[in-house]
Chain A
Amino acid sequence: MRISRNLIPYLQVAPLALILIIFLGIPLVTVIVVSFFDYANYQVYPDFILLNYIELFQSKLTYQLYASMIKFGLIVWSLTLVIGFAVSYFLVFHVRSLLWKIAFFLVCTVPFWTSNIIRMISWIPVLGRQGLVNKSLMFLGIIDVPLDFLLFSDFAVVVAYVHLFTLFMIVALFNSMARIDPAVIEAAVDAGASRWRVITQVVIPLSKTGIALGSIFVIALVMGDFFVVKIMSGGKSASVVFAMWNEIAMLQYPSAAASSVVLMIIVTLMVAAILRIVNIRKELSG
């Protein structure tokens, strides 16, 4: 049987499209519908009420949670951007041998393929009261009493996020920078540009796709985080998603659904803002 040539792309994307429709599209609609349902005594009743949203926006906790997540998002985003830029710049423009470039790049990416929970937990023996950092500082005589702010604090949360998510920034930035034609940089240098001007006026503009992609990943991952805030703050605070999880555990599905719809809208707006600046589709497949 001959298949018409025009039909082929549709058949080829069919599995992807089906999975995205069944496990992304329909669940998304389901959550939106359920967010208008009513619930009481561990039962959910189909309805159309705005109460879940009204309660959400009237609760002070909501604003605290979002304020703290956006704060973490901004801190982690700026740290990962600076670290990611420095590391990628070093790999692309300073490491000359291709083999070393690939080797160093792999060194950066290998942890990405291991468990996030385990990588997060691994900070506990390092940052704890009896941890490596405190013991070394005390051994060196820099401090007399163990530092308490290292673990189970905002500091620990930021450290864990940076540890988990800088990879995304590096991969995205490395890709963009590696595509910059060295001749362009040579030209800028020959025309008398200083190293700093080459970075700000050539390298940064030409790696804006990478900056955008990396930023989207880091912001979406921090906003969607489930366990880092919970564990690394020692249970003192929680993320937006963890608060949702508590509601789910109490079978308050409509209320959890409403807060996840709000979270989705906020994340989408943040990403859309970045996409407005950079057209990723064009840059990726062009």
Chain B
Amino acid sequence: MSQFSYGKRPWTFYALGAFFGLFVLFLYGPMIAIYILSFQGPNGGLTFPMNDVSLHWFAALFGQERTGDFAGAFVRSFILALIVFVLTVVFSLMAGLAFRKRFKGSTFLFYMAIASLIMPGLFLSLGTGILFRVLDIPTNWYSSALGAQLTWTLPFGLLIMFAVLSRFDRNVEEAGRDLGSSRQQILWHILLPILLPGLIAVALFGFTLSYDEFPRTLLTVGPSNTLPLEIWAMTTTVTSPALYSLGTLTTVISFIAIIISLGSIAIIQRRRAGKMRGQRKSANREP
């Protein structure tokens, strides 16, 4: 009965394996269906079969009168996601480092971050919207919506930092301090290089969560929409495959962000493994 680590595969392996396969099909099947359908011919409809293959519906997206200001919304969402990801990385790293020590109010702040995660998005959107109106500050995607989105991305960043820092060996930092490194040196030469893969993960969350954020942005965005709001408007007005091609386009952007992040993490880890092996080899050769 030691099937947990070695030996012949038990029957549960095949049962759960099949279940996993079905789950992946469930997860990706519908998405793949709309990516294919977004290449419908000009006379094609919202369902299969494909009626010819074309880029017609992608072109239709950029015709203003058909779908609203798609290009503008896309640019805004992209810039906003970049700002959110930079702020999320910096602020979660700082907060993550602070939480390693006990400080007054740390438990309260932690539960506030959790509350921020579970709070219905529209609730916060409503509060921030009213607040800005009362203070007579105009709402805008780069001010109120930025803040509202950070209440969503920062708690995620913080939780990832907890996970990353709990595996971080503090002796390395202590060693640096004992050897006379300044605080800046410790940050740039010890902390950042070691934590880099975790920070890239935070960046990925920051970018994609902001880029796809909907309820928190809804009442804080001001006069110009972000992309998810534009997509939402389309779901109620557009009944053509243009909707699917928009889905395909935004997914491509998300995938590029995912590939860049995961790719760079993989490269860093491989280099590290290579270095370690190199060091071990030279150490072996010495005597």
- By a beta-carbon cutoff of 8 Å, the part of chain A in contact with chain B is 8-10, 12-13, 15-17, 19-20, 22-31, 34, 83, 86-87, 89-91, 93-94, 96, 104, 106-108, 110-119, 121-126, 128, 130-132, 135, 163, 166, 175, 182, 185-186, 189, 195, 216-217, 220, 223-224, 226-227, 231, 241, 244-245, 248, 253, 256-257, 260, 263-264, 267-268, 271, 280-281, 284-286
Contacts and interface: CB of A to CB of B under 8 A. Distances in A.
Given A16-B113, A241-B215, 4 more contacts: A15-B95, A16-B109, A114-B31, A119-B31
Interface string B115-152: 11111111110111011001000000000000110110
B162 interface: yes
Contacts of B26: 163
B254 A114 contact: yes
A271 B19 CA distance: 30
Contacts of B28: 111
Interface stretch (B66-74, B191-199, B227-235): B227-235
B27 A24 contact: no
B247 A30 contact: no
Contact of A86 (B16, B205, B214): B16
B219 A248 contact: yes
B17 A12 contact: no
Contacts of A284: 159, 162-163, 166
Contacts of A13: 94-95, 98-99, 103, 106, 109
A121 B247 contact: yes
B208 interface: yes
Give the most central of B119, B134, B166, B262: most A CB within 10 Å: B119
A139 B266 CA distance: 45
A185 B105 CA distance: 39
B95 A12 contact: yes
B60 interface: no
Contacts of A121: 34, 235, 243-244, 247
Interface stretch (B4-12, B51-59, B272-280): B4-12
B126 A90 contact: no
B48 A10 contact: no
Contact of A19 (B30, B151, B246): B151
Interface of B: 1-2, 4-5, 9-10, 12-13, 16-17, 19-20, 23-24, 26-31, 33-34, 37, 46-48, 87, 90-92, 94-95, 97-99, 101, 103, 106-107, 109-124, 126-128, 130-131, 134, 147-148, 150-151, 154, 158-159, 162-163, 166, 204-205, 208, 211-212, 214-215, 218-219, 228, 231-232, 235, 243-244, 246-247, 250-251, 254-255, 257-258, 262
A87 B19 contact: yes
A134 to B, nearest CB: 10
A17 B212 CA distance: 24
A119 to B, nearest CB: 6
Contact of A175 (B27, B118, B163): B163
Contacts of B106: 9, 13
Contact of B154 (A19, A186, A260, A286): A19
B34 A23 contact: no
9 contacts: A19-B154, A20-B109, A28-B127, A86-B19, A90-B16, A125-B30, A125-B47, A195-B12, A223-B120
A227 B166 CA distance: 37
Contact of B131 (A27, A104, A122, A216): A27
Contact of B30 (A24, A126, A263): A126
Contacts of B122: 224, 226, 241, 244-245, 248, 260
Nearest to B87: A15
Contact of A220 (B24, B112, B118): B118
A182 B272 CA distance: 27
B145 to A, nearest CB: 10
B158 A16 contact: yes
B109 A226 contact: no
Contact of B126 (A25, A108, A186, A253): A253
A12 B97 contact: yes
B30 A186 contact: no
A135 B214 CA distance: 33
Contacts of A124: 46
A9 B98 contact: yes
A216 B30 CA distance: 27
Nearest to B9: A94
A26 B162 CA distance: 26
B281 to A, nearest CB: 22
A41 B112 CA distance: 36
A8 B159 contact: no
A16 B94 contact: yes
* A-B residue pairs, 3 tightest by C-beta: A27-B127, A224-B120, A12-B98
A126 B48 CA distance: 9
B130 A253 contact: yes
